[in-house]
A = this chain, B = another copy of it.
Amino acid sequence: MSKKLVVQKYGGSSVKDSDRVKAVAKRIVSYKTHHQDVVAVVSARGDTTDELESLAFEITNNPPEREMDMLISTGEQISCALLAMAIKELGFDAISFTGGQVGIKTDRIHTKARIITIDARRIRKALTKNKIVIVAGFQGVTRDDEITTLGRGGSDLTAVALAKALNADVCEIYTDVDGIYTTDPRIVTEAKKIHTITFEEMLEMASLGAQVMQARSIEVAKRFNIPIHVRSSYSKEEGTMITKADEHMESIAVRAVTCNKSEAKVTICDVPDKPGVAARIFTEISKAGINVDMIVQNVSRMKTTDISFTVPKVSLNKTLATARHITKTIGGGNILQDDQIARVSIVGAGMRSHYGIAAKMFKALADQKINIEMISTSEISISCIIERKFSDMAVKTLHKTFNLERT
C-alpha cells in the first residue's frame, strides 16, 4: 500500500505568532506519525502583507507591480522558514521552499499571475528522503526568473495546484473558521456546518459572497477533481469536504443562504431597444475595468428599455461616469443609482430537480413585507436584490423556510 500524501494550506491567522507556528508544526507532525507524507503551503503571518504594502505606499502612491511582488513575496518566505524550524525543533526533518524553488512557473502578470506549470521533482525528491515539505504560498516565478504573486486567494491556489501536480489524496485548507456553514452564523445562530458540498455549489457560494475560499482555487480543484477539506487549524474536528457530486447522494434542494452587501445597483433608463445596445454598454464598462455582476433587462416599452446591473460599491462613481458617457452616444434617459442594496441568495445543486423553490423563496420574503427589486437565477442558485436594511431579516427567514437548521 502506498503512503498517503496530503497537501495542506495554512492561512495567515494560522501562523500569526510563534505559538501558532508551533501549534501548526505539531499538527503537521501528527500526520507524519500516522505515516502520511505532508506538503504544507503557508501564507504570510497575520498582517505581514499589509505591513509590507504600507512600506511601499510610504515610498510611492503607485508602486510598480514587479517591485511589489519582489517586496510582498518575502512575507510567505518568512513564514515557511519559521514553520520548517518549528518542525525540526520537534525532531522531524523539514525543508522550506520558495515558489520559485519548487518550480511554480507563472505568466508575467505581476500581482495577479496565473500558474502555467509546476515541476514537482524537487518536492518529490524531498518527500522520498522522508522530509516534510513547506512551500511559500501565493508566489511563483516567470520563465525569466522574475518573482510573481498570484493575487487574492493565491495560497489556496498554490495548495490546490500542488495537490494536482503531486497527485495528492486530499487538499486540506486550514482557516480560522471550522468549515462552510448553511449561512453566516453571526446572523443566524442556528446555522449548521455543511459536511459535504459539491464544487458547483461552493463556486456559486463563493461568487455570491461566502468569504471562505476564492472561486479561482475551487475552479481548479473542480477541473482536476481534487477533493478539498476546509477546516480549522484550532481544532481536530472535521470541517467541510468539497467534492464532485456523488450520484448516490441525494441532492439537497437548498444547501445554503448567502448575502452580499458590497454591491450597488445602477439603472440606465430608456435605452433604445435594438440589437447591439447591451453589448455596447457592457463593453464600455468592462473597458473601464469595472466588474459587472448581475444584469437585468426589463421588457421593452415604446421601443426603449431599462437596463439594471450591479457593480462593486467601490466602482460606483466610475460606473456612473462611464454610463453618462455611453448614453450620450447611444441615447438613453436617466441614470439611477442605489448603494443601499443587498443580494440575498439561496444555493443548492438539487434545485435542478426540485420545483417551486423560487416561488417559495419569493413568498417567504413577501410574507416579511420585503420588496424584491431585481431577480437573477442560475442553474443552482436564485438571487434577489433587496433593500440592505432588510438583509439580516431576509437571511434568517430563508434559512428557516428551507429548514437549513436541521441539516
Q: Which A residues form the contact surface with B (CB < 8 A)?
A: 18, 21-22, 52, 55-56, 58-60, 62-64, 66-68, 70-71, 73-74, 77-78, 80-82, 84-86, 88-89, 95-96, 98, 100-101, 145-147
A21 partner residues in chain B, CB cutoff 8 A: 59
Residue among A52, A66, A81, A100 having the largest count of chain B Cβ atoms under 10 Å: A81
Q: How far is the CA of A95 from the CA of B52 in the complex (A)?
A: 18
Instruction: Indicate if the CB atoms of A78 and B55 lie closer than 8 Å.
Output: yes
Q: How far is the CB of A40 from chain B (nearest CB, A)?
A: 14
Instruction: Indicate if the CB atoms of B145 and A101 lie closer than 8 Å.
Output: yes
Q: How far is the CA of A88 from the CA of B55 in the complex (A)?
A: 15
* Closest B residue, CB atoms, query A21: B59
Q: DSSP class of A's interface residues: helix, strand, loop or mixed? A: helix
Residue among A62, A68, A78 having the largest count of chain B Cβ atoms under 10 Å: A78
Instruction: Indicate if the CB atoms of A84 and B55 lie closer than 8 Å.
Output: no
A62 partner residues in chain B, CB cutoff 8 A: 89
Q: How far is the CA of A82 from the CA of B56 in the complex (A)?
A: 6
Instruction: Indicate if the CB atoms of B101 and A85 lie closer than 8 Å.
Output: no
Q: How far is the CA of A101 from the CA of B66 in the complex (A)?
A: 14
Given A74-B74, A77-B70, A88-B64: A82 touches B96 (CB 8 Å cut-off):
no
* Closest B residue, CB atoms, query A71: B81
- The residue that A55 contacts in the complex, of B73, B74, B82, with Cβ under 8 A, is B82
Q: How far is the CA of A87 from the CA of B68 in the complex (A)?
A: 14
Instruction: Indicate if the CB atoms of A74 and B85 lie closer than 8 Å.
Output: no
A74 partner residues in chain B, CB cutoff 8 A: 74, 77-78
Instruction: Indicate if the CB atoms of A89 and B67 lie closer than 8 Å.
Output: no
* Closest B residue, CB atoms, query A80: B70
A147 partner residues in chain B, CB cutoff 8 A: 98
Given A85-B63, A85-B64, A101-B145: A70 touches B96 (CB 8 Å cut-off):
yes
